[in-house]
């Protein structure tokens, strides 16, 4: 999704892929939050005080609503004052004077075809901030690159974008979080399959 309403208004870029992916992952973990107690602690669920179960269900429901809302609000906003990168866990608001350049980055998601492209907002202190909302496998959308270049030109900022993911992922503050994420993905998949009684027959 991309919208432009003049030089003073905000430019919003958000790929459906990243929004749907974040929403589905949120729903998946919500499913686990309900399934794990039922499968692993059935006696606790059966004998737990009703208020305790109700509070737990409310917490899960609120977490799902907030998580899905956050997933659908992933975006890159470029207005007259700042660059706003709204990722899943954190929103970055970077003033134009703090931006050194826009660069090709990647979202850390790799398949046989390579990394997924994502815009990297590089600040003057060398810290790149990856905009998850722009994530796209293959080349970036031409209209997305055009909108970003136009905004960068208005503020005299370099935007030498090819729309192709970098092979080496730029350093980010949540690097350790990404490592834990990629370790946790296969573990949660295998664990959820075991809860459903599905076992690997070739292992």
Q: Distance from CA of residue 179 to its chain's centroid? A: 15
pTM: 0.71
Residue by residue, pLDDT tens for the chain (203 residues) are 555 444 445 666 767 788 888 888 888 888 888 887 877 777 877 777 878 888 888 998 999 999 999 988 899 999 888 999 999 888 999 999 999 999 998 877 655 556 788 899 999 988 889 998 888 887 888 888 988 999 999 999 999 998 888 754 444 445 455 555 555 655 666 566 565 555 445 44
Residue 107 to residue 116: CA distance in whole angstroms = 6
Secondary structure letter of residue 156 according to DSSP = T
CA distance 30 to 27: 5
């Amino acid at each position: 999704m991309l919208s432009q309403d003049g030089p003073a208004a905000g430019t919003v870029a958000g790929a459906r892929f990243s929004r749907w992916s974040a929403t589905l992952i949120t729903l998946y973990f919500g499913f686990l939050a309900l399934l794990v107690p039922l499968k692993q602690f059935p006696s606790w669920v059966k004998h737990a005080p009703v208020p305790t179960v109700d509070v737990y269900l409310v917490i899960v429901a609120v977490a799902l609503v907030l998580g899905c809302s956050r997933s659908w609000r992933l975006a890159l906003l470029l207005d007259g004052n700042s660059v706003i990168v709204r990722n899943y866990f954190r929103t970055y608001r970077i003033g134009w004077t703090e931006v050194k350049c826009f660069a090709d980055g990647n979202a850390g998601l790799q398949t046989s075809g390579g990394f997924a492209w994502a815009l990297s907002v590089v600040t003057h202190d060398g810290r790149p901030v990856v905009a998850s909302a722009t994530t796209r496998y293959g080349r970036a959308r031409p209209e997305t690159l055009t909108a970003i270049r136009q905004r960068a030109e208005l503020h005299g900022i370099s935007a030498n974008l090819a729309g192709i993911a970098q092979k080496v992922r730029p350093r980010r503050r949540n690097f350790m979080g990404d490592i834990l994420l990629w370790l946790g993905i296969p573990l949660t998949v295998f664990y959820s399959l075991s809860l459903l009684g599905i076992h690997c027959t070739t292992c």
